[in-house]
Structures are given as structure tokens and as C-alpha cells.
Amino acid sequence: MKQKIDAIKEEVKKVMVGQENLIDAMLIGLISDGHILVEGVPGLAKTTAINALAKALGLDFKRVQFTPDLLPSDIVGTEMYDQKEGTFKVKRGPAFTNLLLADEINRAPAKVQSALLEVMQEKQITIAEDTFKLEAPFLVLATQNPVEQEGAYQLPEAQLDRFMLKVNVDYNSFDEEIEIVNRVANRNFGVIEKVADASDIIAMRDAVEAVHVDDAVTAYIVKLIYATREPEKYGVSGVAEYLEYGASPRASINLYKAAKAIAYIRGNDFVTPLDIADVLHGVLRHRIILNYKAEAANITADDIVTKILQAIKLP
């Protein structure tokens, strides 16, 4: 299966330059049944990445551009009256897919966000009196633009908590951008071939379940999460004054699952503290709620996570 993972990555890289963390995050989400929130300025190939992944896996892909006038029915679908037959029929929305790109998710109002919650959490869609189970695998990749805030809504904490990872996507390096320009100039983007399918992803999920996590490593995971709630108790100094709320129990679950997934992607059958460190920021940066003091001092959630990681002793 490691060969399958490498093959998928190679196909995605035919149209992606750099952004390894985004590619890994998408794979983590797919093989551990989670959703990914991506924050980055426009033009960093977020849409290209998930579209390439869909093609490499032969999965269905839909994209929804979130806007302030979007309705829940624009996501999940609605009932429509068929005058010819005199009956109501269900018109399915774009959420009936395997990979759903929710572009600029924070531009849609609360009703749309709540409709998306059921889809993300329950993997099902209710339209009128009918409930439809979504086919596995199902992944929501949502994007946020950190620059434009006009006309944007703050995502509810309950919805943020539904995302397994939050990935911050930055600009490519100088050399990577030269390669991008050269590829565009020479039309040198490869054709993506299907190298795996949905059954392979399901098999990978079973394999990830078998990845071993030592009891001491599990305790280390929980300590990292508890340190966001009671930092002084766990020897993390200078942090408590900036924290409004720590991470929820869902953070412990997702850190455990993400660590197993990244270990599997690397070809290992057990989790190490390095695996945990590599996914910790992604699991926690959207779950830690900071107060006004942190904003005034220009302290970010990533800063808090780094201090926790440095303070908690390795198993």
C-alpha cells in the first residue's frame, strides 16, 4: 500500500509544485476519515490539488464557491415538483460526491454552515423526509482567505472542531515559483492517471487502524491536549494568560488518528513522537481559543502549540 501512496503523490505532483504539507493533509484526511480546512491567499493551487487527487483516485469531485447569498439547498439539494408526473422529486446538490471543495467557506451564512455540519459529521444528507448516506470515501476540503475579511463570517467553533486538520498554505519558494512559471510557459503539466480507487482508500483505512500506538505514546498525546486546558499543571509557563479555552476531546481523537495516518503514509507500522509533532499544529491551531491579550501581544495559536510541544517531555 505504501507504493500506492507514493504513486498518488507522484500523480498530484504532475500539476502541483511544492505544497507537500497540503498533499499530506489531504491524504491524512482521506485515509483517516477526516476533513481539512485550508487557509491561504488565492492562487496557491488549492483547487488544483484536490482536483488532481480526485483524478488520481478516480473519485467524484465537486466544487462550491461559497457566497453570502448561498442557501443550504445549494449545497445538499432540494425537492422539486414535477408538474408532468404530479410528484416531488429530489434534486441532489454538489455534496453528493466523494471530494467536496468548499471554496471560501467563511463567506456563507449560518444556515449554510449548519447544513454542512450534518454532511461532515454524519456522512449523510437529509432532504425533506428522505435521508441519504454518502458513499465512502467522503472528504470536505474547505478553504479560507486570510486577507479579505469584508463580507466574511466567523466560522462557529462547533464547525471548526469538525475539521481534523487546519493547514496554512504559504507562497512557494523562489525556485518553486520559477518551476511553476516554466511549466506554464512550456505547457509542461503532466496528464494525471488513475493509480488507485475508492476500494484502495477503504483498504488503507483498515491498514491505518492496524498501526500500533504504544500506551506511553497515547498518554503523551493526551498530555499535549490537556496542556491546552491546564498549561501550568503540565509545566507550560507563560501561556495560560493568553488562553480562553483549550482543545476539546475531539482534538485527542484526531491527533491520535492523524499520527497513525502520517506514520502509515511514511511506511511505518507504529507511531513515534515525531509523527505526533508533525501533525500537532494542524490538529490544534483551529481548536485553541485565544483571548484579547493574545491578540494584543501578537501571539498565535501556533506559538502556543510550539511552547506546549517544547514543554511536554517525550515518552
Give the CATH number of the domain where residue 20 resides.
3.40.50.300
What Cα–Cα distance (Å) separates residue 288 from each residue in 24, 93, 285? 22, 33, 6
pLDDT at residue 252, rounded to an integer: 94
**Tens-place pLDDT, residues 269-308:** 899 999 999 999 999 999 988 888 888 888 889 999 999 9
The reply to whether 127 falls in a domain is yes
Q: Report yes or no on 58 lying in a domain.
A: yes
Rounded to two decimals, the pTM is 0.88
Based on the fold, state whether residues 182 and 215 are members of the same structural domain.
Answer: no
Of the candidates 170, 186, 202, which is a domain's last residue? 186
Low-confidence ranges of the chain (pLDDT < 50): none
Same domain, 159 and 100: yes
Convert the pLDDT of each residue in 185-199 to its tens digit. Answer: 777 677 788 888 888
Are 214 and 181 part of one and the same domain?
no
Domain shared by 64 and 113, yes or no: yes
Residue 51 sits in the same domain as residue 176: yes
According to DSSP, the residues that pair with 167 across neighbouring strands are: 38
Domain encompassing residue 227: 210-311
Which residues contact residue 128 at a Cβ distance below 8 angstroms, ignoring those fewer than 6 apart?
79, 88, 90
CATH code assigned at 286: 1.10.8.80
Query: What pLDDT does residue 44 have?
Result: 67
Percentage of the chain beyond pLDDT 70 is: 96
Query: Do 38 and 158 lie in a common domain?
Result: yes
At 59 the pLDDT is 87
Can you give the three-state secondary structure of 227-275, one letter per residue?
A: CCCCCCCCCCCCCHHHEEECCCHHHHHHHHHHHHHHHHHCCCCECCHHH
User: Per the structure, how many domains does the chain have?
Assistant: 2
pLDDT for position 18: 77
Cell (9 digits) for 171 = 507562497
| Domain annotation covers residue 194 | no
